[in-house]
Amino acid sequence: PQNIPLDVVYEDNDLIVINKPKGMVVHPAPGNPDGTLVNALLYHCAGQLSGIGGAIRPGIVHRIDKGTSGLLVMAKNDAAHQALSAQFSVHSIHRVYHAIVYGNLKEDEGFVETCLGRDPRDRKKMAVVPQEASGARYAYTGWRVLERFGNFTYIACKLKTGRTHQIRVHMAYIGHPVLGDPVYCPDARRAARFGLSGQCLHAKYIEFTHPATGERLHFTAEPPAYFRRVTDALRGL
């Protein structure tokens, strides 16, 4: 446990919804032994977290990347964890991300539907792979244009699935990678121009059924300051 400030959006005896800041890792891993969201949650919740994820991932039902900001729901007990995981597996948890991508998307809305798996040329990356490839998993990302900036587009992405790096891989696959993405579009010059460190991607909205009460809950977190700085700069072009 570490006394790290958290932006708590909602909390009760069964779950907690956090607005994770950009730059925070969700759970300890090689290179990030502490200072993670799990360390902060263990302190904040006084150890009251689901044990299904083990000692390294207590309470963790889903994750977002270190360089992505936004909403996450965590389970405080095993029953809540199992119920939330079941909702993820049948895609009844609704999530919307906001992103700024390169290029001007031709249509106002569309979707990307592929299989994703480990990149055979770089195991640290994900990639679009054939359905029959080892480890291939179905992935669907719907997108909608919110604002156009000429060489950049502000979009909302609605996930049906939640694969590792899904939005980042899918948008790069269709030729519109996320601005500032250091893995799938390493364009340090343009990222530096906007003062970015990592991808311009924010988990803005989440909706799910409360595991104990059955109530349908929904939460929104507005894009943080770094994201607004980019949109403001683009509107000024």
Q: Which residues are catalytic?
A: 65
Neighbours of 53 (CB within 10 A): 17
Taking the alpha carbons of 5, 34, 69, 63 in that order, is the dihedral positive or negative? negative
In Å, what is the CA distance from 149 to each residue of 163, 203, 227, 235, 236?
28, 21, 14, 7, 9
In the block, which residue shows the tokens 């990307």?
112
User: Does residue 236 contact residue 230 with C-beta atoms inside 8 Å?
Assistant: no
Q: What share of the chain is helix, strand, coil (3-state, %, to 5)?
A: 20, 35, 45
User: Does residue 225 contact residue 117 with C-beta atoms inside 8 Å?
Assistant: no
Amino acid at 60: I
